[in-house]
A = this chain, B = another copy of it.
Amino acid sequence: KPVGKEDTVKLEKTYKPVPKGLSLVIGCATFPVWNSMPGLFGDLITGNTALFKPHPESVLPLALIIAEIQKAAKKHGYNPLIAELAADTQDHLLTKDLAEHDDVHVIDFTGSSQMGEYIESLINRGKTVFTEKAGINSVILDSMDDLKGSMQNLSFAVSLYSGQMCTAPQNFYIPENGIQAGGEHISYEDTVDALKEAISGLASHPKMGHNVLGAVHDEKTLERANNAESIGGRLIRKAEPIAHPDFPNARTCSPAIIEVDAKDRDKYEQELFGPVIVVVKTKSTEESVSIAKELSGRKGAITCAAYTTEDKKMDYIEQEMEEAFVPVTFNLLGPGPVAVNQNESFSDFHVSGGNPAGNASFTDPDFIVRRFRWIGHKRRVEK
C-alpha cells in the first residue's frame, strides 16, 4: 500500500472464514430427510458443528444419517462429533431448550408456522435462523389445451403423499364464468366436476391410487380431511379410506374437496395441512390472481400452479405472483410424475424466502454465507 508521497507499508492480509459455532437443525415428521439435509450439510461445509433434533416420530432416518456422517468423519481423521443426534420424546420435547441455549448460534427449522415464528423470534437473541414454515399454495385456472390432462396433473399434485407436501396445492381459484379448454368454453360447474373426477379416478386407480396417496402421518390430519365440511362451504368430495394391499392397517385417505365463494375469506385463508383442497369461486382470473397474490404475501406460499394458453396472461400472472415471492409453474399435464410440488435439486430454488412460508431458500447463496463470517487479519511485514 503506497502511503504519502514516497513511502510504502507492506501488509500481509489473511482472510479466514470463521464458523458461527454450534448449529441446531430441527427436523419435521413428514420430510425428515429431504428438508433437513441442506441445513445439516450447510452447517458442516462451513465448519460448524451440527446438532440434529429430529421430530420424535421420525428419528430413525436421521439416526442412520448421523451415524454415517460420524463414520465418514472418523475415517478421514475428523472428530466424529461434528454431527450429533439430539433425539427427544413427545413427553419431554427438547426443541426450546436447545434453540434458546447460548451456545447455539445457527438454527435450521422445518415445521409449523407457529413454532417457526417462535424460532424466528430468537434472531433477536443473536441467532442466525433459516425457516421453512407453512403456506397456502394456489392453483389458478384460466385456460388450457387439454382439460383432462391438466386435471390429471392437478389430481396427482394434490394426492401425492396425501397432500402432506409443503408444496402441495390447496386453493383452486376458478372463475364463475368458467374457463377455456381445447378451444371450448367449459362452465364453472363442469370445471369443478372435471377436477373432482380426476381426483376420484386417481384415488380409485388400482395401481396408482394407494401408491401415490401413501399414508397419513398424523391422526389429526386424517380428522381434518374426514371433517372437511366443518371448515364451511359446500363439501363436494368426501375423503375416503383407500385400501393399501401391502399395509392393510395404514392410515389412508383420499382428498376432500370443499367449495367456497371468494368473499368467504375466512374459509380458505388458513393452511389445511393434508388431503383437503378448497375450490374458490372467483369473479374472474384477475380476481383469482389478486386473491392468490395477497394471501401468499400475507400467509405465505411456496408454489403456484397456473393454467393459461395466453403468453400475456402468463407474464401477468408471473409478475403478480413474484411480487408475493411465489414462483409459478404453468400448464403441466398428465398423471405425473412432473407436478408443481416437485422441486429439482440442482435447478430449482426451494422456498423463495420472501414471504411468510419461510425466511430462507435452499440453494440461494444466502443459505450458506450466513453460517460463517469473514475475518481479515493484517500483519505488517518488512518491505
A: residues with CB less than 8 A from B are: 1, 3-4, 9, 11, 13, 15-16, 18, 20, 120-121, 123-124, 126, 314, 318, 322-323, 325-333, 336-338, 344, 347-349, 352-354, 356, 361, 364-366, 369-370, 373-380
* Alpha-carbon distance between A121 and B318 when the two chains are bound, in angstroms: 32
Which residue of B325, B338, B361 is within 8 Å of A1 (Cβ)?
B338
Q: Is A377 in contact with B327, judged by CB distance below 8 angstroms?
A: yes
* Alpha-carbon distance between A365 and B374 when the two chains are bound, in angstroms: 10
Q: Beyond A344-B1, A365-B365, A366-B370, is A377–B329 a contact (Cβ under 8 Å)? A: yes
**Which residues on the B side are within 8 Å of A318 (C-beta)?**
16, 377
Q: Beyond A322-B18, A366-B366, is A373–B347 a contact (Cβ under 8 Å)? A: no
Q: Is A331 in contact with B379, judged by CB distance below 8 angstroms?
A: yes
Copies of the chain in the assembly: 2
**Which residues on the B side are within 8 Å of A11 (C-beta)?**
338
Q: Is A375 in contact with B325, judged by CB distance below 8 angstroms?
A: yes
* Most chain B C-beta atoms within 10 Å of own C-beta, residue among A3, A18, A353, A375: A375
Q: Beyond A3-B337, A329-B377, A376-B327, is A20–B354 a contact (Cβ under 8 Å)? A: yes
Which residue of B120, B124, B126, B325 is within 8 Å of A121 (Cβ)?
B124
Which residue of B325, B333, B365 is within 8 Å of A18 (Cβ)?
B325
Q: Beyond A124-B123, A314-B379, A322-B18, is A352–B374 a contact (Cβ under 8 Å)? A: yes
- What are 9 A-B residue pairs whose CB atoms fall within 8 Å in the complex? A4-B337, A13-B348, A318-B377, A325-B375, A330-B379, A330-B380, A348-B378, A352-B373, A369-B369
Q: Is A373 in contact with B344, judged by CB distance below 8 angstroms?
A: no
**Which residues on the B side are within 8 Å of A1 (C-beta)?**
338, 344
**Which residues on the B side are within 8 Å of A370 (C-beta)?**
366
* Alpha-carbon distance between A323 and B333 when the two chains are bound, in angstroms: 54
Q: Is B322 in contact with A16, judged by CB distance below 8 angstroms?
A: yes
**Which residues on the B side are within 8 Å of A348 (C-beta)?**
13, 376, 378
* Alpha-carbon distance between A364 and B361 when the two chains are bound, in angstroms: 18
* Alpha-carbon distance between A1 and B354 when the two chains are bound, in angstroms: 27
**Which residues on the B side are within 8 Å of A332 (C-beta)?**
9, 380
Nearest CB in chain B: distance from A362 CB, A: 11
* Alpha-carbon distance between A127 and B380 when the two chains are bound, in angstroms: 41
Q: Is A347 in contact with B124, judged by CB distance below 8 angstroms?
A: no
* Alpha-carbon distance between A379 and B9 when the two chains are bound, in angstroms: 57
**Which residues on the B side are within 8 Å of A120 (C-beta)?**
124
* Alpha-carbon distance between A348 and B374 when the two chains are bound, in angstroms: 10
